[in-house]
C-alpha cells in the first residue's frame, strides 16, 4: 500500500505531497491542474520510461518519491535487499515495513532510480511495480480489446491451479523449443561439421606423421647455416689452428713464440725479480693457447666430410615443417598445439551424431508432453471461463448494465506458444436478444470502462493486488452508471488500496480520502494546491464537479445527496462485512 507520494517539478506541478493510505482515494481537479501528473509520477516509480519533456520548464530535474507499506519479510522486501537497498521495519505493526522508492529525471533526459536508499537499475522498479500496483488508464480500455489482455485476465482469475499448470507447461515448452532449435542447427550444419571433421583427421595424420618437436625449426636453421658454410668454416679453423700451433717443425706459431719468450725471460730472471711474474704470465698464456689449439683440432675433426648429404636431409625436413606451419601455424608451437587439441574437437564433432539422435528423442518426448500439458491448461481455462463470465456478468448488472452478459470462449489453435495453444475471446452481449460480439468490436468506451472495472473486482478475489490505480476509468460514463462505478470501486477498496483520478462527483463521493489538485493564481500548481478535503471543502469540490460552480445551490444540494448516499452504502457494506 502507498502511504504517500511526493512530486517536484513534474509537468505543471512545482511541488506537491499526496497523503494516500488505505481504502479508496479520489483525486479530482480542474482540467490542466495536473491530475495526470500524479499518474505519471507513479509510473516513474514503477519503472516507466523517463521523458525529459515531463520536467517542469526551467527546472533542472523532476523528482517523484513514494512511501510504501510492505510486509517486512515478503517478496518485495526480499527483492529490495537483493538490489542492495533496505526497508524500514519500524512500521505500524511488527510485520510491516516502510519502503521508499524515488526517481529523478533531468532536463536532458537522464534518469536515476533509488530503491530503499540505494541506487538501482530502473528495471528493479519495474519488477517491484508488478508486485505492488496495477494501473489502469484509458489506454487499458483499448488494450482490453486485445486477445492477449483477455487471456491474461482469465489466467489471473484462474488463480494458483491455473498458474501452476501454465508454469509446468511453459517449462516443458521452453525446453522443447530450445532442444528443437539446437537440433535444427545441428542438422543444418551437418555438412560443415563433416567437412571440418575430415579436415581435422587429415591434419592430425600429417602432424602425427611429421612428429614436430618444440624448437626443432630453430635447431634446423642453425644446423643448415653451419653446413651451408662448411668449407669456409674448415679453412678458417685450419688457418687459426696452424697459426696457434703449427704441425710443421720449422713453422712459426703462437705456442712456439710464447714458449721462446718464456724461456728467454726465465734465463735472466735471477738478475731481476720483476721478470718472474712476466714469465709466469707467459706460462699461463701458453697453456691457454694450447687449449685453444686443442679445441680447434676437435672442431676440425668434428666437421663431417659428408655434410652435403646431411644438408639435403635437413633442408627437406625444414621444408616439411614449413608446410605444416603454413597450413596449421603461424608457428611450429601452434602446429603442435593444434595437433594436441584436434583430438578433443574431433571427438566433439563425432559426438554430434549421437547428440542429434539423443535430441530427436528428447524433442519427440517433450512435444508429446507439451501437448498433454497444454490440453490440461485448456481444460482449466475452460472451467475458469464459465465461472469468470458469470461473475463478470453479475458485476455488470450492478454497474447499470443489468441485461449485459459477458461470455468467454477458449479455442485451441494449431500452433503452440509460451502461454499454451489457446485463443481466448471475450464476447459482450449488451442486452437480451443482441448478438454477442467480441470486446474488440462494438463495445463503447463507457462499456469497456465498466467491463474493465467488473473484471478487476472479480479477479481481486483470486489474484489480490495491494494497490489499484484508475486514471479516468469513468470516461464516457455518467448518471446512474457512474454511481455504480463508485460503489464497485468502494467494494474493491475493502480488500485493496484504490486510487482513482476522476472528474465525476458520483465516483468521488464513495471515496474515504478525497484529494483536490487546483491551479495556483499564476496558472501553475503550487505545493498548497494539493489538499486533503473534508467537510465544507469537500462539499464545495463535489458541487464544482456537478455544476462547474463551487457555490451552486442546486449543485450543493445534489452533492449533499451524493455524499449521504455514499455514506449509507459504506455503512451497509461495513455491516455486511461484520455479519459475515
DSSP characters over 201-257: HHHHHHHHHH---TTHHHHHHHHHHHHHTHHHHHHHHHHHHHHHS-SSTTS--HHHH
| Mean pLDDT within 161-170 | 95
Q: Please, what is the average pLDDT of the chain?
A: 84
**Separation of alpha carbons 235 and 73, rounded Å:** 95
The whole-number pLDDT of residue 312 equals: 82
| Mean pLDDT within 546-568 | 86
Per the DSSP assignment, residues forming a β-bridge with 29 are 517
The dihedrals phi and psi of 370, each to the nearest 5 degrees, come to: -60, -40
To which H or E segment does residue 491 belong? helix 479-492
Count Cβ atoms below 10 Å from residue 270 Cβ, excluding itself.
Answer: 9
Cell of 373: 500439458
Per the DSSP assignment, residues forming a β-bridge with 4 are 19, 67
The pLDDT-based confidence of 173 (bands split at 50, 70, 90) is very high
Residue 175 has pLDDT above 90, yes or no: yes
The pLDDT-based confidence of 3 (bands split at 50, 70, 90) is very high
To which H or E segment does residue 25 belong? strand 24-29
Higher pLDDT residue, 339 or 81?
81
The whole-number pLDDT of residue 527 equals: 46
The pLDDT-based confidence of 520 (bands split at 50, 70, 90) is low
Cell of 55: 520536467
The whole-number pLDDT of residue 6 equals: 92
Residues 444-457 pLDDT 10s: 777 777 888 888 88
Residue 552 has pLDDT above 60, yes or no: yes
Q: Is the peptide bond before 159 cis (omega within 30 degrees of 0)?
A: no
The pLDDT-based confidence of 442 (bands split at 50, 70, 90) is low
The whole-number pLDDT of residue 231 equals: 78
**Separation of alpha carbons 555 and 468, rounded Å:** 30
| Mean pLDDT within 206-218 | 87
**Separation of alpha carbons 21 and 38, rounded Å:** 15
2-144+445-534 adopts what CATH topology? Rossmann fold (3.40.50)
**Whose grid coordinates read 523517463?**
50
End-to-end alpha carbon distance in the chain = 25
Does the pTM surpass 0.85? The reply is no
| Mean pLDDT within 537-547 | 89
Quick one: which of 424, 428, 439, 435 has its CA closest to 393? Answer: 428
Task: Tell me the torsion sign for CA atoms 254, 260, 262, 264.
Answer: negative
Residues 251-295 pLDDT 10s: 567 888 888 888 888 888 888 888 889 888 988 988 898 899 888
- Which of the residue ranges 97-106, 140-149, 226-235 would you say has the lowest mean pLDDT? 140-149
**Segments making up each domain of the chain, as ranges:** 2-144+445-534, 161-372
3-class secondary structure, 95: coil
Residue 578 has pLDDT above 60, yes or no: no
Residues 6+ apart with CB under 8 A from 296: 237, 240, 241, 244
To which H or E segment does residue 193 belong? helix 190-210
The whole-number pLDDT of residue 528 equals: 45
The dihedrals phi and psi of 504, each to the nearest 5 degrees, come to: -110, 125
Q: Where are the alpha helices (DSSP H) in 46-189?
A: 75-82, 122-132, 138-143, 147-188
- Which of the residue ranges 46-60, 221-235, 521-535 would you say has the lowest mean pLDDT? 521-535
Asked whether the beta carbons of 173 and 370 are under 8 A apart, the reply is yes
| Mean pLDDT within 13-22 | 88
Asked whether the beta carbons of 425 and 438 are under 8 A apart, the reply is yes
Between the ranges 16-25, 471-480, 484-493, where is the mean pLDDT highest?
Answer: 16-25
The pLDDT-based confidence of 303 (bands split at 50, 70, 90) is confident
Q: What is the DSSP string of 413-434?
A: EEEEETTEEEEEEEEEE-STTS
Print burial letters for 480-493: b (CB count within 10 Å at least 16), e (below 16).
ebbbbbbbbbbbbb
The pLDDT-based confidence of 350 (bands split at 50, 70, 90) is low
Residue 235 has pLDDT above 90, yes or no: no
Count Cβ atoms below 10 Å from residue 92 Cβ, excluding itself.
Answer: 9
The dihedrals phi and psi of 554, each to the nearest 5 degrees, come to: -70, -40
| Mean pLDDT within 553-576 | 82
Higher pLDDT residue, 249 or 58?
58
Quick one: which of 47, 58, 191 has its CA closest to 128? Answer: 47
**Separation of alpha carbons 254 and 282, rounded Å:** 11
Q: How far is CA 499 from CA 300, 343, 466, 472, 492, in A?
A: 106, 67, 11, 11, 11
The pLDDT-based confidence of 172 (bands split at 50, 70, 90) is very high
| Mean pLDDT within 393-402 | 85
| Mean pLDDT within 368-384 | 95
Residue 349 has pLDDT above 90, yes or no: no
Between the ranges 220-234, 423-437, 459-473, where is the mean pLDDT highest?
Answer: 423-437
Residues 6+ apart with CB under 8 A from 365: none
**Whose grid coordinates read 516513474?**
44
The whole-number pLDDT of residue 440 equals: 65
Q: Is 548 left (phi over 0), alpha (psi -120 to 50) or beta?
A: left
Rounded to 5°, the CA angle 493-498-499 comes to 150
The dihedrals phi and psi of 237, each to the nearest 5 degrees, come to: -65, -40
Per the DSSP assignment, residues forming a β-bridge with 425 are 409
Q: Is 434 left (phi over 0), alpha (psi -120 to 50) or beta?
A: beta
Amino acid at each position: 500500500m502507498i502511504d504517500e507520494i511526493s512530486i517536484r517539478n513534474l509537468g505543471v506541478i512545482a511541488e506537491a505531497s499526496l497523503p494516500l493510505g488505505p481504502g479508496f482515494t479520489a483525486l479530482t481537479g480542474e482540467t490542466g491542474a495536473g491530475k495526470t501528473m500524479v499518474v505519471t509520477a507513479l509510473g516513474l516509480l514503477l519503472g516507466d520510461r523517463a521523458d525529459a519533456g515531463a520536467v517542469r520548464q526551467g527546472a533542472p530535474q523532476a523528482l517523484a518519491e513514494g512511501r510504501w507499506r510492505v510486509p517486512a519479510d515478503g517478496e518485495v522486501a526480499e527483492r529490495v535487499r537483493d538490489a542492495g537497498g533496505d526497508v524500514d521495519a519500524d512500521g505500524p505493526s511488527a510485520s510491516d515495513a516502510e519502503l521508499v522508492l524515488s526517481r529523478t529525471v533531468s532536463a536532458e533526459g537522464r534518469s536515476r532510480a533509488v530503491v530503499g536508499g540505494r541506487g538501482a537499475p530502473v528495471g528493479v522498479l519495474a519488477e517491484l511495480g508488478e508486485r505492488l500496483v496495477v494501473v489502469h488508464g484509458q489506454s487499458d480500455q483499448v488494450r482490453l480489446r486485445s486477445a492477449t489482455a483477455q487471456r491474461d485476465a482469465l489466467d489471473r482469475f484462474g488463480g494458483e491451479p491455473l498458474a501452476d499448470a501454465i508454469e509446468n507447461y511453459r517449462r516443458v515448452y521452453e525446453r522443447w523449443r530450445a532442444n528443437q532449435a539446437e537440433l535444427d542447427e545441428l542438422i543444418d550444419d551437418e555438412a560443415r561439421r563433416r567437412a571440418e571433421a575430415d579436415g581435422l583427421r587429415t591434419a592430425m595424420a600429417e602432424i602425427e606423421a611429421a612428429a614436430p618437436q618444440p624448437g626443432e625449426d630453430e635447431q634446423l636453421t642453425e644446423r643448415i647455416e653451419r653446413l651451408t658454410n662448411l668449407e669456409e668454416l674448415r679453412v678458417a679453423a685450419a688457418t687459426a689452428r696452424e697459426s696457434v700451433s703449427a704441425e710443421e717443425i720449422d713453422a712459426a706459431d703462437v705456442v712456439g713464440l710464447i714458449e721462446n719468450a718464456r724461456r728467454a725471460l726465465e734465463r735472466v730472471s735471477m738478475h731481476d725479480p720483476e721478470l718472474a711474474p712476466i714469465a709466469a704470465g707467459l706460462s699461463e698464456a701458453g697453456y691457454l693457447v694450447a687449449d685453444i689449439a686443442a679445441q680447434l683440432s676437435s672442431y676440425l675433426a668434428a666437421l663431417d666430410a659428408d655434410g652435403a648429404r646431411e644438408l639435403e636431409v635437413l633442408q627437406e625436413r625444414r621444408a616439411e615443417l614449413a608446410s605444416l606451419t603454413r597450413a596449421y601455424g603461424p608457428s611450429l608451437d601452434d602446429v603442435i598445439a593444434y595437433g594436441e587439441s584436434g583430438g578433443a574437437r574431433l571427438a566433439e564433432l563425432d559426438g554430434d551424431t549421437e547428440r542429434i539422435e539423443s535430441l530427436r528423442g528428447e524433442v519427440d518426448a517433450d512435444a508429446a508432453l507439451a501437448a498433454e500439458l497444454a490440453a490440461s491448461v485448456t481444460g482449466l481455462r475452460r472451467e475458469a471461463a464459465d465461472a469468470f463470465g458469470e461473475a463478470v456478468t453479475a458485476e455488470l448488472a450492478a454497474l447499470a448494465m443489468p441485461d449485459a452478459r459477458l461470455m468467454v470462449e477458449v479455442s485451441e489453435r494449431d500452433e503452440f506458444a509460451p502461454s499454451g495453444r489457446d485463443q481466448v475471446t471475450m464476447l459482450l452481449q449488451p442486452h437480451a436478444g443482441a448478438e454477442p460480439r467480441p470486446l474488440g468490436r462494438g463495445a463503447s468506451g463507457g462499456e469497456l470502462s465498466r467491463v474493465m472495472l467488473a473484471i478487476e473486482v472479480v479477479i481481486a478475489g483470486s489474484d489480490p493486488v495491494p494497490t489499484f490505480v484508475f486514471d479516468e476509468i469513468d470516461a464516457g460514463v455518467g448518471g446512474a452508471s457512474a454511481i455504480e462505478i463508485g460503489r464497485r470501486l468502494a467494494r474493491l477498496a475493502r480488500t485493496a488500496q484504490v486510487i482513482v483520478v476522476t472528474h465525476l462527483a458520483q465516483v468521488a463521493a464513495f471515496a474515504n480520502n478525497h484529494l483536490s489538485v487546483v491551479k495556483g493564481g499564476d496558472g501553475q500548481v503550487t505545493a498548497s494546491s494539493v489538499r486533503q478535503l473534508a467537510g465544507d471543502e469537500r462539499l464545495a469540490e463535489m458541487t464544482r464537479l456537478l455544476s462547474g460552480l463551487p457555490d451552486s445551490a442546486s449543485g450543493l444540494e445534489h452533492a449533499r445527496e451524493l455524499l449521504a448516499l455514499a455514506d449509507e452504502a459504506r455503512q451497509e457494506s461495513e455491516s455486511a462485512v461484520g455479519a459475515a
